[in-house]
Amino acid sequence: MPGLKKLHLPWNSLGLIGVLIALILFFSFMSDYFFSTVTFRTLVNQIPALTVISVGMTYVLLIGGIDLSVGSVMALSAAVVGVAIADFHLPVLIAIVCGLAVGFIFGVTSGFVSSHWKIPSFVVTLGMLEIARGGSYLVTQSETKYIGDPVAFIGDPVPVVGISAALIAAVSVVIVAQWLLSKTIFGRYMIAIGTNEEAVRLAGINPVSWKIVVFAIAGLLAGLGGVFQLGYLQSADPNAGIGLELSAIAAVVIGGTSLSGGRGSVVNSFFGVLIIAVMQTGLAQLGVSESSKRIITGLVIIAAVLFDQYREPLAARLSGKNKRIPTFDDN
């Protein structure tokens, strides 16, 4: 796989791509409308927010943490941007910077409180989830704020390229985040902290500051997700993103990132996002009810984790050898 190696895809990306292609073929076969530009456009509009939030979640899970606040933080950031434009008549770019700043501040706070005082990030971000949700109701006065044209450019297709600015930005985030993870010292430290934080500390590296950076990135990306969401809906909904943190965790876990930390890939999380999005769109086109869709999604998440857990013994059995396939950790 020399070509793949150049792209720096982790070896198990192949399986995810396979699943994705299988899903697309399945839905194309089952429905005449699936393989069309309409479907493509729906998909493309849906995924940017979930994609960038899943990137942040991948980082947080990599260091052995979790961030439950991302859905609410996304809603709050969108609300701040919306109010800044609609009520304070700020220039759009400045409003966006305010929104991103809100996400960043929430991330830094979660990271600082959980790392510095050694409180499980689960609890801290659960608190932040409530705070951000309350904040978004406060900012919007519990009403959906319509913005309209000023933010339409985020979701509209860019001329020539044909896809939205949000998707271009989201894919760029995936690429940069994967590059940071596999090429830089920051990525190394994330993996090391997730593997054995005490060993990292006793190697003379301060894990606390790196963990804060990771949560800050996750918060910033949740803010960015809010901006994308705003561009897509052209309005700020204080109820947006409820349960989105769980979709992001699902995507990341389908992508093979370990919930106990130390192992994961941003690109694979992106494939996880695509698998979830394709499945949901496809099932909707088949006329599957919302309730059945959720049941199927739940089964797929569990199946993905089971497969991930047992892929090595399984691969060994399939290849007819008893030898365990060694795992190398270069990515």
Partner 1 sequence: MTESLSTPVNSGDLPVLLDVKALDKTFAVPVLKNLSFQLRKGEIHALMGSNGAGKSTLCNIIAGIHQPTAGEMYFLGEKYTPNDVKAAEEAGIRMVMQELNLFPTLSIAENLCFKNLGNKFGIIDSKRLRERATKLLDLVGLDDVTPETPMEDLGVGKQQLIEIASVISEPIKLLIVDEPTAALTDPQIDLLFEQLRKLRDQGVGIIYISHRMDEIQRIADRVSVLRDGQLVATEDIKDIDVETIVNLMSGDLDSHSISIKPGIRPPKSCVLRVRTLSKVGAFEDINLDIYSGEVLGIGGLIGSGRTELLRTLFGADVADAGSLRFASDDFLFPRLMRSPEEGVANGIGLVVEDRKSQGLLLQKSLLRNISLSILPQLTNKFAVVDKQREHDIAVEIAQRLAIKFDNIRAPIASLSGGNQQKALIARWLLRDLPILLFDEPSRGVDARAKTRIHELIREQALKGKAVIVVSSETQELMTVSDRIIVLSNGRMAGEFDRASFSEEKLLEASFRFYNKSSPQHKTNDKEQQDVSPTH
Residues of the shown chain interacting with partner 1 in the complex, contacts defined by CB under 8 A = 183-186, 188-189, 191-192, 195-196, 198-206, 262-263, 326-330
Which of 205, 300 has the CB closer to partner 1? Answer: 205
Q: How far is the CB of 97 from partner 1 (least distance, A)?
A: 24
Residues 6+ apart with CB under 8 A from 131: 69, 72, 106
DSSP state letters, 196-209: -HHHHHHTT--HHH
Q: Are 155 and 230 in contact (CB under 8 A)?
A: no
**Which residues are 157's β-sheet partners?**
164
- In the numeric block, the tokens 């913005």 are attached to 147
What's the min distance (Å) between Cβ of 269 and partner 1?
A: 20
- Cβ nearer to partner 1, comparing 117 with 328: 328
32 vs 198, beta carbon nearer partner 1: 198
N-term to C-term CA, the chain: 15
- CB of 299: closest distance to partner 1 in angstroms? 29
Of 181 and 276, the one with the shorter C-beta distance to partner 1 is 181
Kindly report the backbone phi and psi dihedral angles of residue 327, in degrees, each rounded to the nearest multiple of 5, phi listed first: -100, 130
| DSSP-derived secondary structure letter, 286 | T
> With respect to partner 1, which residue has the nearer C-beta, 199 or 302?
199
What residues contact residue 208 under an 8 Å CB cut-off, 6+ apart?
115, 116
Closest listed residue to residue 178, CA positions, set 18, 83, 55: 55
CB of 206 vs partner 1, minimal distance in Å:
5
The minimum distance between CB 175 and partner 1, in angstroms, equals 15
Residue 192: CB minimum distance to partner 1, A = 6
Q: Which is nearer to partner 1, 4 or 22 (CB)?
A: 4
Q: Which residues contact residue 52 at a Cβ distance below 8 angstroms, ignoring those fewer than 6 apart? A: 169, 170, 173, 221, 222, 224, 225, 228
